[in-house]
């Protein structure tokens, strides 16, 4: 089952912006970058430092959205 990112207020998908991939709202950082870096052992504080513009609230919203989708399975 695919995750419905359109229900997460912290992200957006705009045609022509980063090839239409899901990004953090208002900036050009792909949501995928969050998960890739977490999988590689990064901490949230690292991600906040590496990706200026991404907020802790956005990261928390994305993680909550992803976690909630797992509860529905």
Three-class DSSP category at 29 = coil
Instruction: Put residue 17 in one of left, alpha, beta given phi > 0 → left and psi -120 to 50 → alpha.
Output: beta
* Domains with residue ranges and CATH for the chain: 5-71 (1.10.10.10)
Rounded Cα distance between 18 and 14, Å, is: 8
Question: Which pLDDT band holds residue 29 (cuts at 50, 70, 90)?
Answer: very high
Other Cβ atoms within 10 Å of 60 Cβ, number: 12
Task: Name which residue leads in pLDDT, 1 or 66.
Answer: 66
Q: What is the pTM of this model?
A: 0.89
Matching residue, tokens 């529905």: 72
């Amino acid at each position: 089952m695919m995750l419905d990112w359109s229900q997460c207020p912290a992200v957006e998908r705009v045609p022509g912006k980063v090839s239409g991939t899901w990004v953090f709202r208002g900036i050009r950082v792909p949501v995928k970058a969050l998960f890739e870096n977490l999988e590689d052992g990064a901490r949230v504080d690292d991600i906040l430092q590496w990706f200026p513009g991404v907020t802790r609230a956005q990261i928390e919203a994305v993680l909550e959205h992803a976690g909630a989708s797992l509860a529905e399975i």
